[in-house]
């Protein structure tokens, strides 16, 4: 019998994502000036206020207030009427030095002996149902909000949009797990005040259905375009008025959107957040590494759908184990346990090896903090960072290295494909 599956996304202006972006902007600045920085930084945002807290071990000094304000302004909170804007909000920092008890388990005599920054399990996932090997419902949810943000910044067709928004897509699947159609789309977007609520709802619904959705569809491959039809149920700002939003509407905290950040409820999640953590924290680095493994396995033809789990003990170099689930989609006679054994031979999962393979000591994290850490195109960009003493540093940074299909040939050779 056909079934429905739903995933959601939130925009860069969502309060939790504002917090994530501030935390990752701090990570990038620390790594830009000291690649060996150890950072765990949490951010809280609320009406007119930002609170920074966490632990840092670094040889650089940063103006964390300026970094937070610049991030908020870039997102689009630039007006006092939002009750939260980058130029006037308070920024309180309670960042202090990292515990030596934790650090002694991570830093070792040689980089290769670096222990895991924490215990825990991390998951990576990939599926053939989209070109970027991501679950379709989540991928569409992200794309809707990316396009909505583009419309907000263009200020040509839609001029009333504010930064906070959410989306949700429900897909109908066949018994053999193939997407058949889009059942419903939910979009809630913050907006300027209207004269009447009726005029507001009519205008927003018309612009979403007639301007936003066609722009999203136009950028999709033909097989996904065919999933859109006139029978889709749209719920546009279903609660009605959404003028009060962002950190004034809800308090935001780093690390509260871990399912949005990963696979939208498909696969599994170990529970650890990413933003605000340097790559010695395996919550982040091993989650990227397992996505890299899963994507390359699917692309190589090992299976149509793959879940990868890795687990660690704090301060221990080698992982506790690697688990593979192909959901019965492996086309040849090999068990998931046998696949896991070969994966452990192809991919070195020691923390230092992951950092080196995926170039994770570079300032590459601000771009991950909104619209998902997975499924994004790997590209090289130029980024400039500033210190309080006036020193500027411009570096070329390769983003989303875990999305590269650079191990497909190795996987095919190991599996005889």
Q: How far apart are CA 241 and CA 365, in angstroms?
A: 34
Q: Is 193 labelled as part of a ligand binding site?
A: no
Q: Is 412 labelled as part of a ligand binding site?
A: no
Q: Is 233 labelled as part of a ligand binding site?
A: no
Q: Is 206 labelled as part of a ligand binding site?
A: no
Is the dihedral angle over the CA atoms 264, 267, 271, 276 positive or is it negative? Answer: negative
Q: How far apart are CA 57 and CA 37, in angstroms?
A: 6
Q: How far apart are CA 205 and CA 224, in angstroms?
A: 22
Helix count (H) and strand count (E) of the chain?
Answer: 13, 13
Is the dihedral angle over the CA atoms 73, 77, 80, 86 positive or is it negative? Answer: negative
Q: Is 287 labelled as part of a ligand binding site?
A: no
- Residue labelled with tokens 């053939």: 128
Q: Are 144 and 187 in contact (CB under 8 A)?
A: yes
Q: Is 55 labelled as part of a ligand binding site?
A: yes
**DSSP per-residue string spanning 352-409:** HHHHHHTTTTSS--GGGSSS-SSSPPP-EEEEEEE-TTS-EEEEEEE--GGG--TTHH
Q: How far apart are CA 212 and CA 148, in angstroms?
A: 7
Q: Are 297 and 303 in contact (CB under 8 A)?
A: yes
Three-class SS state of 331: coil
Q: Is 248 labelled as part of a ligand binding site?
A: no
**Phi and psi at residue 5, in whole multiples of 5°?**
-135, 140
Q: Is 92 labelled as part of a ligand binding site?
A: no
302 CB contacts (<8 Å, ≥6 apart)? 326, 330, 339, 411, 415, 417
Strand (E) or helix (H) holding 297: helix 282-300
Q: Is 14 labelled as part of a ligand binding site?
A: yes
Q: Is 156 labelled as part of a ligand binding site?
A: no
Q: Is 250 labelled as part of a ligand binding site?
A: yes
Q: How far apart are CA 78 and CA 332, in angstroms?
A: 56
Q: Is 8 labelled as part of a ligand binding site?
A: no
305 CB contacts (<8 Å, ≥6 apart)? 126, 127, 128, 177, 298, 326, 327, 329
Q: Is 241 labelled as part of a ligand binding site?
A: yes
Q: Is 242 labelled as part of a ligand binding site?
A: yes
Q: Are 381 and 397 in contact (CB under 8 A)?
A: yes
Across 237-347, where does the E strand assignment appear?
252-253, 305-312, 321-325
**Binding site feature residues for ATP:** 14, 164-166, 241-242, 250, 256-257, 273, 277
**Binding site feature residues for L-methionine:** 55, 98, 250, 281
**Binding site feature residues:** 14, 16, 42, 55, 98, 164-166, 241-242, 250, 256-257, 273, 277, 281
**Binding site feature residues for K(+):** 42
**Binding site feature residues for Mg(2+):** 16
């Amino acid at each position: 019998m056909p079934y429905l599956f739903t995933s959601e996304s939130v925009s860069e202006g969502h309060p939790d994502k504002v917090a994530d972006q501030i935390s990752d902007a701090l990570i990038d600045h620390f790594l830009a000036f000291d690649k060996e920085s150890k950072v765990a930084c949490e951010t809280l945002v609320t009406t007119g206020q930002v609170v920074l807290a966490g632990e840092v071990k670094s040889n650089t000094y940063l103006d964390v207030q300026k970094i937070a304000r610049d991030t908020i302004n870039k997102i689009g909170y630039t007006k006092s009427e939002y009750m939260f804007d980058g130029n006037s909000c308070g920024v309180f920092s309670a960042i202090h030095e990292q515990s030596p008890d934790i650090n002694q388990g991570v830093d070792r005599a040689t980089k290769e002996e670096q222990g895991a920054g924490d215990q825990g399990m991390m998951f990576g996932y990939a599926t053939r149902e989209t070109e970027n090997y991501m679950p379709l419902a989540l991928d569409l949810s992200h794309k809707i909000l990316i396009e909505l943000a583009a419309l907000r910044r263009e200020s040509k067709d839609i001029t009333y949009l504010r930064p906070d928004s959410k989306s949700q897509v429900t897909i109908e699947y066949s018994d053999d797990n193939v997407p058949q159609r889009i059942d419903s789309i939910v979009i809630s977007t913050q907006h300027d005040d209207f004269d009447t609520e009726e005029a507001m709802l009519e205008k927003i619904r018309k612009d979403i259905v007639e301007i936003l959705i066609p722009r999203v569809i136009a950028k999709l491959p033909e097989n996904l375009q065919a999933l859109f039809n006139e029978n889709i149920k749209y719920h546009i700002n279903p609660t009605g008025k959404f003028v009060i939003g962002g950190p004034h509407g809800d308090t935001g905290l780093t690390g509260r959107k871990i399912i949005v950040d990963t696979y939208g409820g498909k696969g599994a999640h170990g529970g650890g957040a990413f933003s605000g953590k340097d790559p010695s924290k395996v919550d982040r680095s091993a989650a990227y590494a397992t996505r890299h493994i899963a994507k390359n396995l699917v692309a190589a033809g090992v299976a149509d759908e793959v879940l990868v789990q890795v687990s660690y003990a704090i301060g221990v170099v080698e992982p506790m184990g690697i688990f593979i689930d192909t959901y019965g989609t492996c086309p040849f006679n090999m068990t998931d346990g046998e696949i896991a054994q070969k994966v452990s031979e192809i991919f070195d999962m020691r923390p230092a090896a992951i950092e080196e393979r995926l170039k994770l000591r570079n300032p590459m994290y601000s771009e991950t903090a909104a619209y998902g850490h997975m499924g994004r195109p790997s590209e090289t960009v130029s980024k400039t960072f500033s210190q309080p003493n006036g020193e500027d540093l411009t570096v070329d940074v390769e983003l989303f290295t875990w999305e590269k299909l650079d191990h497909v040939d190795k996987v095919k050779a190991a599996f005889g494909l």
